[in-house]
């Protein structure tokens, strides 16, 4: 991903977290980035969540439930039951189900016991129906003609499949309006004012970066999307040759995919970049941008991309042990502090986690 696109994407995510207006005014908004399926990945995913359901989801912890765990916890009974009586036939060997049961039990999201050489399970809580809507956003700050054509084709496929309730493209407001008209009518268009990439070098070190005033990011709706129908049969284009090959996707499969996407959004959010970048490098910093913080590299004198901020970066310089003295090596150092800070912010959008885990 180009550097400009990474920073743009983080700004769009931060903006959406603060300003997205859900269809139901009381919905809670979760934002995640770089989520998708085997076939398709979206830059930004917005989940509009039922407030009570979202709180109830916290009973299963901060981490996402993968497809196997989700299958188990959703069907787990209120009372101890032999697992094969409780769960639907998986259509594959039961030993994989048993593995999922053991993992779920180790995670504390399912109760498991052995009686008369049989595995019995019991739920720790009912898994809630917490997802109201899913919105997919493609971030393309700099659309040239060929990028716009490729994006339009991709969005047409998204619309035909109808996995999300809405699909959008977010692009810079300047010089792209003509290209925006190439997008399919059903896709919405957000225009984003050019961020102040050359802002001064003041950083957030030593303060709460969410405190204080920020300039808001100027985001406008240039085109409203059509609301799609995730409960209808979708059409998946499998080959854009001549003739185009496609297959139908039934609503049950779409519901499953949405549930898994929502779980990933819950677990990852949009700040997980710290897990793959090197906040433990002495040049790493978080810098206040319009709506939230973005990574900043003092060695490069600019915002670095997620790809270039790695152990193989020629400018990488590990934070010295002296920085880590308090709590080193488990808790100390600015690198760990950055991760904790970002994790705390993710948790703020996930009510109920603090009561369960007690560590936020």
User: Nearer Cβ to ligand SF4, position 270 or 284?
Assistant: 284
User: Looking at 124, 160, 299, 360, which residue binds ligand SF4 (CB under 6 A)?
Assistant: 299
**By the rule CB under 6 A, 309 interacts with ligand SF4:** yes
- Which residue stretch of 8-16, 103-111, 278-286, 323-331 sits at the interface with ligand SF4 (rule: CB under 6 A)? 278-286
User: Nearer Cβ to ligand SF4, position 263 or 280?
Assistant: 280
User: Nearer Cβ to ligand SF4, position 191 or 304?
Assistant: 304
- Which residue stretch of 29-37, 181-189, 214-222, 277-285 sits at the interface with ligand SF4 (rule: CB under 6 A)? 277-285
Residues 6+ apart with CB under 8 A from 183: 148, 151, 152, 155, 169, 189, 223
Among residues 264, 323, 284, the alpha carbon closest in space to that of 134 is found at 264
- Please report the DSSP string for 108-177 in residue order: TSEEEEEETTEEEEEESSPPP--EEEEEEEEE-SS--HHHHHHHHHHHHHHHHHT-SSEEEEEEESTT-H
Is residue 314 within 8 A of residue 306, CB to CB? The reply is no
Q: What are phi and psi of 117, to 5 degrees?
A: 65, 20
Q: How far is the CB of 273 from ligand SF4 (least distance, A)?
A: 11
Which parts of the chain fold into alpha helices (H)? 3-19, 51-57, 67-75, 83-86, 94-107, 145-161, 177-180, 251-268, 273-276, 334-348, 353-357
| Antiparallel, parallel or unpaired: β 110-115 and 41-49 | unpaired
d(CA 271, CA 32): 8
- Which residue stretch of 74-82, 214-222, 310-318, 346-354 sits at the interface with ligand SF4 (rule: CB under 6 A)? 310-318
Among residues 160, 155, 139, 152, the alpha carbon closest in space to that of 179 is found at 152
Compose the 152-191 pattern: x for residues touching ligand SF4 by CB under 6 A, - for all others.
----------------------------------------
Q: How far is the CB of 288 from ligand SF4 (least distance, A)?
A: 17
**By the rule CB under 6 A, 192 interacts with ligand SF4:** no
- β-bridge mates for residue 350, sequence order: none
User: Nearer Cβ to ligand SF4, position 235 or 299?
Assistant: 299
d(CA 162, CA 177): 25
User: Looking at 90, 316, 323, 349, which residue binds ligand SF4 (CB under 6 A)?
Assistant: 316
Q: How far is the CB of 147 from ligand SF4 (least distance, A)?
A: 26
**By the rule CB under 6 A, 68 interacts with ligand SF4:** no
User: Nearer Cβ to ligand SF4, position 13 or 297?
Assistant: 297
Return residues touching ligand SF4 (CB under 6 A).
278, 281, 283-284, 297, 299-300, 304, 308-309, 313, 315-316
């Amino acid at each position: 991903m180009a550097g400009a696109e990474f920073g743009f994407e983080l700004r769009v995510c931060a903006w959406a977290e603060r300003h997205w207006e859900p269809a139901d005014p009381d919905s809670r908004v979760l934002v995640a980035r770089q989520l998708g399926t085997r076939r398709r990945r979206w830059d930004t995913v917005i989940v509009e969540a039922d407030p009570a359901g979202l709180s109830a989801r916290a009973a299963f912890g901060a981490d996402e439930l993968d497809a196997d765990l989700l299958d188990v916890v959703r069907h787990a009974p209120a009372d101890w039951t032999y697992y094969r009586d409780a769960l639907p036939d998986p259509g594959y060997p039961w030993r994989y189900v048993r593995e999922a049961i053991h993992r779920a039990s180790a995670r504390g999201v399912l109760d498991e016991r052995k009686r008369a050489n049989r595995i019995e399970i019991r739920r720790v809580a009912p898994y809630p129906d917490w997802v109201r809507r899913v919105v997919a956003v493609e971030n393309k700050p700099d659309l040239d003609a060929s990028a716009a054509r490729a994006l339009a084709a991709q969005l047409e496929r998204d619309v035909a499949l109808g996995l999300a309730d809405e699909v959008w493209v977010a692009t810079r407001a300047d010089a792209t309006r003509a290209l925006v008209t190439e997008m399919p009518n059903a896709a919405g268009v957000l225009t984003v004012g050019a961020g102040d990439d050359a802002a001064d070098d003041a950083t957030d070190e030593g303060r709460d970066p969410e405190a204080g005033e920020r300039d808001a990011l100027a985001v406008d709706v240039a085109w409203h999307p059509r609301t799609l129908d995730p409960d209808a049969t979708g059409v998946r284009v499998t080959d854009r040759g001549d003739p185009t090959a496609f297959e139908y996707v039934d609503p049950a499969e779409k519901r499953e995919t949405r549930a898994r996407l929502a779980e990933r959004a819950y677990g990852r959010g949009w700040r997980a970049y710290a897990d793959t970048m090197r906040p433990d490098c002495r040049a790493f910093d978080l810098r206040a941008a319009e709506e939230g913080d973005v990574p900043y590299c003092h060695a490069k004198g600019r915002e670095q991309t997620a790809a270039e901020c790695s152990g193989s970066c020629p400018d990488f310089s590990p934070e010295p042990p002296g920085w880590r003295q308090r709590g080193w090596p488990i808790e100390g150092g600015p690198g760990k502090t950055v991760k904790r800070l970002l994790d705390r912010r993710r948790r703020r959008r996930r009510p109920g986690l603090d009561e369960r885990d007690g560590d936020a």
